[in-house]
């Protein structure tokens, strides 16, 4: 009996170790913590998929509920965070959480700077009240003496593109109204738009639209994008090839988030990973040049990677491509594809990228395209960074690289906003 218990324990230990272990680049300084985080996220996805297969629920609500439970534990461990006044209101029927700093007044005339923030989560996860985002927004409000508006845009699968974008744009237009800024004592010359991951996508798209909308008198003065996702046409860039199995945003997961956002069956993610998208005859050469990474990326990031050749699929696959392509070419979903004239009107930018992130090249290409359009860009690249690191600077992981990212982000806003 004792021997059988030992065998079972050994097998369980080996099995758990095998599930947790993921080969990681040497540059990642806290590999065990990242492996544990990745194993937790993969387990949530797999159990969520099982629930969906059994007809119990869609996998996304289940994942949200699990994350919410973990966040509750984090609040219990982290205690109360005071000092900043927080209120939940609506901006043009879009729920937002407004953070107002404890310090009275700000710059000239007692006016304060402001940040409109869009959370990440693949357009399907995340929330303004989520612990990591709530902590970040409180910290921004306190340290920068800024009014921070975190937008609770609607999520997939309940809604799909362009609803998330439209919610964010509506909230931005409402916030930028002179009367609203005046009520919150915000300096109209010092308003930023920012977001991480999918939130960075929304921030870039909204910044573009606001910059060309003559009906909006107040414009954003800066845009701060944290490892943004900026296009879904080419998921075979060097960073997608290099980091396809690097936590926590594996390449196939990014493809599934795109399909979820667009309202397409997520089981078709191999289609989105196919290189034939970029070579589809309906894509004009001028648009294709906007994501030609052989011209837009520095050689040190291209490394030995080559463009992946076209693979012709079945008529059914080609038909699916035809349905997806119009949305993937829409600049509201893919801000990287915007014309140079639009990019040139956007505000100066901060773009954070991570070496070990499938989205690295989206941010680097956008940096180059903005610079070519005459926009001042501060590019902050973390050689030991991975996707989502900034959100895991707090309990229970406390990643050092995430803490450094927050510090760099805050310092830039302090100096440039």
Q: Which residues are catalytic?
A: 197
Phi, psi of 7 (to 5 degrees): -65, -45
**Per DSSP, which regions of 178-260 are E strands?**
186-196, 222-226
Q: Can you tell me the distance from the alpha carbon of 198 to that of 233, in angstroms, rounded to the nearest whole number? A: 15
Q: Can you tell me the distance from the alpha carbon of 100 to that of 225, in angstroms, rounded to the nearest whole number? A: 22
3-state secondary structure of 230: coil
Q: Can you tell me the distance from the alpha carbon of 333 to that of 258, in angstroms, rounded to the nearest whole number? A: 10
Phi, psi of 187 (to 5 degrees): -75, 115
Write the burial class of residue 109 (CB in 10 Å: 0-12 exposed, 13-18 middle, 19+ buried): exposed
User: What is the b/e burial string over 153-173, where b = at least 16 CB atoms within 10 angstroms of the residue's CB?
Assistant: bebbeebbbbbbbbbbbbbbb
Give 229's Cβ-side CA count (13 Å radius). 28
Q: Can you tell me the distance from the alpha carbon of 301 to that of 237, in angstroms, rounded to the nearest whole number? A: 10
Q: What are the beta bridge partners of residue 147?
A: 114
């Amino acid at each position: 009996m004792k021997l059988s218990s030992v065998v079972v324990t050994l097998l369980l230990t080996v099995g758990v170790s095998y599930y947790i272990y993921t080969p990681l680049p040497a540059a990642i300084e806290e590999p065990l913590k990242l492996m544990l985080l990745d194993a937790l996220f993969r387990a949530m996805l797999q159990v969520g998929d099982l629930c969906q297969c059994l007809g119990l629920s869609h996998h996304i609500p289940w994942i949200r509920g699990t994350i919410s439970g973990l966040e509750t534990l984090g609040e219990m461990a982290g205690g109360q965070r005071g000092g900043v006044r927080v209120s939940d209101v609506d901006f043009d029927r879009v729920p937002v959480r407004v953070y107002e700093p404890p310090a009275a007044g700000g710059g000239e005339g007692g006016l304060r700077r402001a940040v409109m923030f869009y959370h990440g989560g693949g357009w399907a996860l995340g929330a303004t009240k989520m612990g990591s985002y709530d902590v970040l927004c409180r910290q921004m409000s306190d340290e920068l003496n800024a009014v921070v508006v975190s937008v609770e845009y609607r999520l997939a699968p309940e809604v799909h593109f362009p609803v998330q974008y439209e919610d964010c744009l509506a909230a931005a237009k409402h916030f930028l109204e002179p009367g609203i800024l005046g009520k919150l004592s915000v300096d109209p010359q010092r308003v930023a738009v920012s977001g991480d991951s999918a939130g960075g996508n929304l921030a870039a798209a909204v910044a573009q639209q606001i910059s060309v909308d003559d009906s909006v008198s107040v414009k954003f003065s800066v845009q701060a994008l944290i490892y943004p996702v900026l296009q879904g046409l080419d998921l075979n860039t060097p960073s997608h090839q290099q980091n396809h199995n690097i936590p926590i945003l594996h390449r196939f997961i990014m493809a599934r988030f795109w399909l979820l956002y667009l309202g397409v069956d997520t089981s078709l993610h191999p289609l989105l990973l196919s290189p034939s998208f970029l070579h589809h005859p309906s894509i004009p050469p001028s648009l294709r040049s906007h994501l030609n990474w052989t011209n837009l990326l520095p050689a040190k990031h291209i490394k030995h990677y080559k463009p992946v050749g076209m693979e012709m699929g079945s008529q059914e696959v080609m038909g699916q491509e035809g349905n997806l392509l119009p949305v993937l070419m829409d600049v509201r979903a893919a801000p990287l594809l915007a014309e140079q004239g639009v990019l040139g009107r956007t505000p100066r930018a901060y773009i954070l990228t991570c070496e070990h992130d499938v989205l690295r090249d989206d941010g680097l290409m956008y940096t180059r395209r903005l610079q070519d359009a005459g926009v001042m860009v501060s590019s902050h690249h973390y050689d030991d960074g991975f996707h989502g690191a900034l959100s895991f600077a707090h309990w229970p992981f406390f990643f050092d690289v995430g803490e450094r990212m927050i510090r760099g982000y805050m310092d830039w806003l302090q100096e440039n906003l």
